Amino acid sequence: MIRWLALPVLLVLSVGTAGAIDARAPLADAQKQERYERMIREIRCLVCQNEPIADSNAPLASDLRREVRERIEAGHTDAEILSFLTARYGDFVLYRPPFTPRTWLLWLAPGLLLLIGGWVFWRVISSRAGKPIDRDWVDPAEDASK
């Protein structure tokens, strides 16, 4: 019963908040509106830190949306707007922080982990090289396709 209700209820709730977030009319210039919508997804709300300002109901998020909107209307570039925000709130406001000595571990960790995984994989493979193949083993996928 609950499961049947969950999806419609969630959908209705999400429509409600989506409407409430940005009550203001879209920017006249469609290209600017598109930039605005993209930028507010890139900026973190500092009150509720796991939300971009596009999704947050916090008063600060709405003030920051206004700031972004006005700056886009005034003809500022994306880089100018982001540097305005990072000068005041630090790199933490950006969902994609710049590559600096403080963040290199953050950026390089996935590649590093992949290298470590690859190295482990190679070690396992090479340690088994030259050992006899188990002829009785059947690939289940191949077996099913027959």
Contact residues toward other proteins (CB under 8 A) are 46-47, 49, 59-60, 63-64, 67, 86-90, 92
Cα–Cα nearest to 43, from 91, 80, 75, 76: 91
CB nearer to other proteins: give 21 or 46.
46
Query: Minimum distance between the CB of residue 93 and other proteins, rounded to whole angstroms?
Result: 8
Query: Minimum distance between the CB of residue 4 and other proteins, rounded to whole angstroms?
Result: 38
How far apart are the two ends of the chain, measured CA to CA in Å? 41
Rounded distance, CA 26 to CA 32, Å? Answer: 9
CB atoms near residue 125 (< 10 Å): 9
Query: Minimum distance between the CB of residue 90 and other proteins, rounded to whole angstroms?
Result: 5
CB nearer to other proteins: give 60 or 115.
60
